[in-house]
């Protein structure tokens, strides 16, 4: 079930993370049952307090990133502790399969950089159907109806952004033409839902091509306060963000996104 004797994350960058243990070891963890804000590993002292910054490239953290990028499920095991009503009274308990919905960095309660992963439980029925479909012979893909809980997004907000830019990517300038029209994506600057809780307003949305949407959502690029596009790996400025005169981009949202992917502290 969990192959690591001491580490809370079982996995690595090559194979992904196959299981995690939630046992109250990190003060910044949040367990809501079907939703977990899970703190990565590293940086803790003998007292259990955080004494150093965490590294996203550390073995277990990199494993969870790989699991996120590949869309693989991860097993959640809960250990007994008083900090969560979802924890068992004693010992350990299997909590089910979860998907890594997003991740990012922030300054934790102890004042050091931590990496956190948003985990969302996969309904048992959905997982069983996926296993059954994997065993089936080739043929038309089955259609199923499922009930999921997700943040409600306003299509009118995204459409307004796309109309302003004529589907042109604000980062690279690409206008992607497809049969019958044009395609672009609305990208929220400060992510919606826990733990980021960004608003669904035009000031918090960009018009991006699919490539730059993935780069932006996963921290490969971020924006400076003067709306320059910065490569997170090299620090080089890739260019100036394109901006429609009516599009008032919220710099508070820009700073939150930047802090999530840089040092956990705002950069300008």
SS3 labels along 101-117: EEEEEEECCCCCEEEEE
Q: Please give the average per-residue pLDDT across 2-24, as a whole number.
A: 85
Residue 262 has a pLDDT of 87
Runs of H (alpha helix) within 40-137: 59-70, 124-135
What's this model's pTM, rounded to 2 decimal places?
0.80
Least confident of 86-95, 138-147, 198-207: 138-147
User: E strand or H helix at 253, and its extent?
Assistant: helix 251-261
| Mean pLDDT of the region 176-188 | 95
Burial of 211 (0-12, 13-18, 19+ CB in 10 A): middle
| Angle at CA of residue 257, ends 256 and 261, nearest 5° | 115
Q: How far is CA 53 from the centre of its chain?
A: 19
Give residue 266's pLDDT band: very low, low, confident or very high (50, 70, 90). Answer: very low
Which residues in the chain are classed under CATH 2.30.280.10? 9-130
pLDDT at 46: 84
Mean pLDDT across 222-233: 97
Strands 16-22 and 73-79: parallel
pLDDT at 140 over 70: no
Looking at the domain 9-130, which fold is it?
Answer: PUA domain-like (2.30.280)
Position 23 pLDDT exceeds 70: yes
Q: What is the pLDDT of residues 98-139, one digit of tens each?
A: 999 999 999 999 999 999 999 999 998 765 655 555 455 565
């Amino acid at each position: 079930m969990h192959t690591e004797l001491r580490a809370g994350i079982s996995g690595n960058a090559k194979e992904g993370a196959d299981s995690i243990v939630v046992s109250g070891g990190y003060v910044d963890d949040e367990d809501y049952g079907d939703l977990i804000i899970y703190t990565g590993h590293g940086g803790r002292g003998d007292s259990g307090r955080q004494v150093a910054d965490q590294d996203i490239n550390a073995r277990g953290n990199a494993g969870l990133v790989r699991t996120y990028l590949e869309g693989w499920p991860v097993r959640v095991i809960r250990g007994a502790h008083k900090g969560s009503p979802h924890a068992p009274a004693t010992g350990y308990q299997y909590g089910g399969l979860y998907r890594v919905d997003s991740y990012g960095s922030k300054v934790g309660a102890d004042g050091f950089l931590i990496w956190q992963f948003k985990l969302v439980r996969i309904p048992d029925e959905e997982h069983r159907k996926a296993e059954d479909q994997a065993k089936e012979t080739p043929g038309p893909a089955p259609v199923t109806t499922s009930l999921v809980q997700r943040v409600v997004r306003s299509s009118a907000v995204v459409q307004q952004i796309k109309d302003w830019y004529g589907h042109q990517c604000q980062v690279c300038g690409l206008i992607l033409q497809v049969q019958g029209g044009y395609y672009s994506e609305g990208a929220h600057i400060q992510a919606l839902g826990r733990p980021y809780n960004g608003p669904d307003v035009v000031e918090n949305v960009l018009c991006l091509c699919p490539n730059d949407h993935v780069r932006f959502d996963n921290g490969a690029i971020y924006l400076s306060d003067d709306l320059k596009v910065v490569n997170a790996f090299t620090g080089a400025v890739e260019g100036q963000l394109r901006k429609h005169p009516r599009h008032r981009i919220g710099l508070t949202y820009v700073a939150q996104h930047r802090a999530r992917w840089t040092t956990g502290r705002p950069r300008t």
